[in-house]
Amino acid sequence: MNFASSLRLILLAMIWGSSFLFQRVAVPELGPNWVATGRLVLGALVLVIVMLAMRKPLHLRKNAGAYIWIGFINSALPFWLFAYASITLPAGVTAVMNSMVPLFSVLLLWVMGERPSFGKFAGVTLGIVGVAMIVGFGGLPMTLATALGVLAGMGAAALYAFSAMEIRKRFTNVDPLAVATGSLLGATLALLPVLFIGPMPSTVEVTPWLMLLPLGVFCTGIAYFLYFKLLHDVGSTRATTVTLLVPVFALIWGVLFLHEHPTLLSLVGMGLVIVSMMLILEKIKLPQFFGTAAKEI
């Protein structure tokens, strides 16, 4: 991964790290249907404006079906699942669920016959341990609502991993900005019907509605362009490692804006995440002994 791609990955992690905080404020008041659909509409609008300003073609006739399919599995359903999880789970815990994307990506590639190196698998596992330490995953009360929230978050992460492979396969020679825009339009069409399911939001408070602006403009529109560019340039396995950094930035934003104080355990977790990123990106490698032992097992 070159310097420019590394910068995009870090910037994307910074943006997505804030999304879980915005959702945690908005979802209890507006519900998952309105939050997920609202951010899709705003995100698609931002990218459509950019496409028009740059006079870039969307190739809608050629790719309409693929845009809807990718939009559904990469945006519509995962956004709704994470919004649903935000009803019961703290923002940091939903970030942990999101960080499982590289693990699912490695597992899916394994199922498809591409055996991961021991270093990559160890890196993903180490990253999961690190983010769990950051947010104190063990403190969750074990209730049915919590369990459903965790399952929703894990389902969204699995969809992200699968859709990353689908995007790489279907849109190899398509402009990443066009793919991001088309898929968000497709996702919006797929999710709009849920607005007619359930009651309208009854809150009169302005804050939850205002949370939709950064969620849609920055955490969806701008973030998706960065993400699709990464997928195009470095592939699904490396691009999805951004989710390991997201909880780290969620912690940093909590310190800066919510005046939270990280524990020693959280700082150790941040260190583990950094090491895991280096293992997955193969910037460092485990000693030969471990790789040989893993093959023998």
3-state secondary structure string across 6-27: HHHHHHHHHHHHHHHHHHHHHH
Q: What is the largest CA-CA distance in the chain?
A: 62
Residue in this structure with the two tokens 């490692």, named with its chain if needed: 241
What string of pLDDT tens digits covers the 297 residues of the chain? 788 888 999 999 999 989 888 888 899 899 999 999 999 999 999 999 999 998 998 888 888 999 999 999 999 999 999 999 988 887 777 887 888 888 788 888 888 887 778 888 888 888 888 877 766 655 667 788 888 988 898 899 999 999 988 988 888 788 888 999 999 999 999 999 998 887 788 776 899 999 999 999 999 999 998 998 898 888 877 887 788 888 888 878 877 876 766 678 777 887 888 788 778 767 677 765 344 444 444
Residue in this structure with the two tokens 């969204």, named with its chain if needed: 156
Task: Give CA angle at 98 (250, 104), nearest 5°.
Answer: 145
CA 25 to the chain's CA centroid: 18
Dihedral sign (CA 45, 69, 63, 176): positive
Residue in this structure with the two tokens 């459509």, named with its chain if needed: 48
SS3 10: helix
